[in-house]
Amino acid sequence: MSFTKNLGKFEDDMRTLREKRTEPGWSFCDYFMVQEELAFVFEMLQQFEDALVQYDELDALFSQYVVNFGAGDGANWLTFFCQPVKSWNGLILRKPIDMEKRELIQRQEATLLDLRSYLFSRQCTLLLFLQRPWEVAQRALELLHNCVQELKLLEVSVPPGALDCWVFLSCLEVLQRIEGCCDRAQIDSNIAHTVGLWSYATEKLKSLGYLCGLVSEKGPNSEDLNRIVDLLAGLGAERPETANTAQSPYKKLKEALSSVEAFEKHYLELSHAAIEMHTSIGRTRSARLVGKDLAEFYMRKKSPQKAEIYLQGALKNYLAEGWALPITHTRKQLAECQKHLGQTENYLQTSSLLASDHHLTEEERKHFCQEILSFASRQTDSPGHKIVLPLHCFAQLRDLHFTPSNAVVHVGGVLSVEITMCSQMPIPVYVEQIAINVHFSIEKNNYRKTAEWLTKHKTSNGIINFPVETSPFPASQNNLPALELYEMFERSPSDNSLNTTGIICKNVHMLLRRQESSASLETPSGVALEDGAHVLKCSGVTLEPGANRITFRTQAKEPGTYTLRQLRASVGPVWFVLPHLSPRVQYDVYSQEPQLHVEPLADSLLAGIPQKVKFTVTTGHYTVKNGDSLQLSNAEAMLILCHAENRAVIYSNTREKASDVSLRVQSSDKVTSISLPAAPAYHMIEFELEVLSLPSAPVTGGDSSTLGVTEPHRKHKDTQKAGYCMATTDHKVSIDCPWSIYSTVIALTFSVPFRTTHSLLSAGTRKYIQVCVQNLSELDFQLSDGNLVDTGSSGDLQLVPLNTKTPQHIYSKQSVFFVWELKWTREPPPSLRCQFSVGFSPASEGRLSIPLKPYTYEFQVENFFTLYSVRAEILPPSGTEHCRTGSLCSLEVSITRLSDLLEVDKDEALTESDDYFSTKLMYEVVDNSSNWAVCGKSSGVISMPVAAQATHRVHMEVMPLFAGYLPLPDVRLFKYLPHHSAHSSQLDADSWIENDSLSVDKHVDEQLDSGSIKSRGSVHSASSSEHKGLPMPRLQALPPGQVFNSSTGMQILVIPSKDDHVLEVSVT
């Protein structure tokens, strides 16, 4: 207990003494002795860790005072350690305690090196007791670097070379001390801890050699010898503990400084050992750095062949990792080495790289550029082999511009290629020739590549940009990850004040990892010059520093694809070559056949009015001569209009207007001749002509009619449902061209602007024909002189127009109606053939140069005479004034024959009795609007006499379902045709009507054409004429023109019942 108590009291006294360090008169040496006594106590107790802590605290305390001194806050006692260094015998690690240096510290006479040497020797002893020899090496390297900095901070006077001697001896002392307590296997496996000391020792020995003249050609001079003597004197006498050691640090240093040969031996031994150690543990950068120093040594020794391999290795490493300044410095050394070795090509390549290196001064760059020019001028008189160098170190290709811009030219045409080269040289350089090697190829389908195809598949601006090489580093350097930098702060644990701050890179292991390659990154180019028949050349060019524009011109001779492969510039025998142009650069040469292209100027050609058509003649390789003409065969329904003055424009292949000349057009009955103006090859002749598609008698069809068409395009039903489209007509024209023995057939499609329909209207026995003209085009037209004639030339029939005689304006997508009344004096014919014609012209244009033929439409009307009149009447129940909902009302249907026997009545339904003819009709009452409920039979068959004013009445009961003004139910009439069978006379007519399988057309209004009404007797199939073995009758719908329903449109008032709670009113 008493020991612990006394030890604690001692520690308290020591802390009290340390806390007084800010007071005047406080001495670090006295405090050092006090705390070292505590360390001795722990060491005697074999508490080596605690003892080491005491020395570490003293080390940290002293280092902090030195740092503060450098910042201007110095303690008085530090002046004892600022005295000049007079002894530099290195660390002493073979004694447990260096009593000599301890006494100097105790007497306050120790220098900085003495204090550091003693302090580290004690730390080393304790670390070895703790079996931590590798920490000794780590601490030793830190100590040596720190001592160098501390001497500078304290401004201690140190003789030149003294500090190098002290570091060299200390490194070897630490290494030998570690070797003395470890076996060889341990040392080999822990090279990473000791290789730093080997490198440091090598560096300091190199500094001593340069300082003492041991590396120069002539050896050390008298001044160098005096310096060697002074340095050896500062070492003092060798210590007794190493006197018997053959390879002690003292003996090695003394021997190395004794002669040039000895220095070279020891320096090479240390350098090779350091390189081998760095390489074995994967520290390639450090090995290259030592090798670079070794190369510098060999250059001093006039052995460039030995220096080259180390310089190449260092340059390879710097290029792989992108160290710009080391690359420049190493290249300068390598250039000197190559010059001494006579490696002309390598030297010129390195010189060109240095001449373009902006890290050098302007004078240095000019020097290396002049080296290239001097070599080129010397070889001009005695030409020898060509020296090929890469172009990027001389100049860079920035962009390329084609003229014409699409890089397409015809045979015989001129192509211009303008390149922009950025010279890397610091002075203007005269280039004898700049050439581009061109590879010619003919593709398999090259004959299909016309000018139009090539223009669509080539770039429009004609400018191709090349990537700019911003640095001499390989592409792998650009793939390195981004720096991950983070701020670092260290604060005091007591008052949280900021002590230190800095930046930490967290992915340094990714950035500094090895990037080796099997071959050197900078070797002789080995680029071969391509020879070929196609070369673009430009001679006598002076490249100024910066951007230069060079223009090549060539005349196309053979069609095909030309690829620009290699760019080269010659300065005497030195050729700077860019082996491949990337991206790929091509231009095409084509040979085009003459072509004729005809297209309308508008979106669609309209029939009936003059329309402009554009003719384009592409001459190709053919030269149009005076007298050449186009011979057009005239189509029957299409005219080519000839005007007094037609113009033709001649364009070059690049759409530049060459001339504007008159065009002569001559037309006969069968041929139209167009005289072409003279034009050179690969030009275009453009002119416009007017064509007119003549109206002709159209083919009657459905509910619309078109102009006469030779090849009508039938539209799909779905298209007609969505909206009507203009009918089209194709006119084919055969054209004979002067450059071909074959005729060219073109087809012009005309659209009919109108759609015409007709309908038959009835008012009792009076008949009217209505014609509807619908404008489907986007133009407005003026209609005039609408006329309808009977082409059957029936003199007893008159068509009385009910139309205005003034011209009518028909707008786009609008319709105009024309109406005529039919009048006849005798029995009308069963059918009527009509032709409608109307004059038309565009409303927006003035007077036309030629008269236009009218638009015609032919149609046929059958069975238009009224045979029957149907009248329906609903009577309210007896005793009431109006019909009521839910009450039965009487429906009376009157069917009246309006004429005697006519030709249209003679069919199967007609029967002859003694006095008159009769026919069977079927009536049917239908209410499609569901306003009435028909009670009882809604249909029946009647025998109708074929005599004027013969009337048949049918009575039935109906019930109104809604209140209001209700339209009357529909009454339909059908012809009742008997079945041709032996059993037909035995069957009652009513049994036929009640049969479900009666063949009747219920939707006759939807199936019949409202304008062209024909017999439908053949429409009904006889396949359903029998049902269950019984003969079935047939029904034939009467055409709408033969039946007039006078009740159509009539309404009757229906009032609601009195007991109805809900009033329902039907309004129609």
pLDDT score of 1034 more than 60: yes
Query: Which residue stretches of 156-221 are H helix?
Result: 162-181, 184-189, 191-211
What's the pLDDT at 983? 40
Type of residue numbered 469: E
Prediction pTM value = 0.60
**pLDDT 10s digits, 439-484:** 888 765 554 455 555 555 555 577 899 987 654 454 445 556 777 8
DSSP 963: B
Cα 760 from chain centroid (whole Å) = 64
Read off the pLDDT of each residue in 27-41 and give the average, rounded to a whole number: 90
Separation of alpha carbons 590 and 105, rounded Å: 97
Separation of alpha carbons 21 and 824, rounded Å: 145
3-state secondary structure (DSSP) of residue 150: helix
**pLDDT 10s digits, 107-158:** 888 889 999 999 999 999 999 999 999 999 999 999 999 999 999 988 899 9
Separation of alpha carbons 533 and 558, rounded Å: 12
3-state secondary structure (DSSP) of residue 467: coil
Tokens at 812, concatenated:
């786009």
Separation of alpha carbons 421 and 356, rounded Å: 14
Residue with tokens 């690049």: 654
DSSP states along 51-69: HHHHHHHHHHHHHHHHHHH
Candidates 275, 280, 93, 267; CA nearest to 178 is 93
Candidates 394, 397, 467; CA nearest to 424 is 394
Read off the pLDDT of each residue in 14-26 and give the average, rounded to a whole number: 85
What's the pLDDT at 875? 92
Read off the pLDDT of each residue in 40-51 and give the average, rounded to a whole number: 91
| 8 A C-beta contact, residue 588 and residue 458 | yes
Beta strands in 619-681, from DSSP E residues, in sequence order: 629-633, 638-641, 646-652, 657-667, 671-675
Average pLDDT over the chain reads: 83
**pLDDT 10s digits, 315-361:** 998 898 888 999 999 999 999 999 999 999 999 999 999 999 999 99
Strands 1051-1055 and 883-884: parallel
In the chain, the percentage of residues whose pLDDT exceeds 90 is 36
Type of residue numbered 994: E
| 8 A C-beta contact, residue 1014 and residue 944 | no
pLDDT score of 845 more than 80: no
Residues 6+ apart with CB under 8 A from 578: 390, 391, 392, 397, 566, 567, 568
The residue count for the chain: 1068
Tokens at 338, concatenated:
């190559």
18: phi then psi, degrees, rounded to nearest 5 = -70, -35
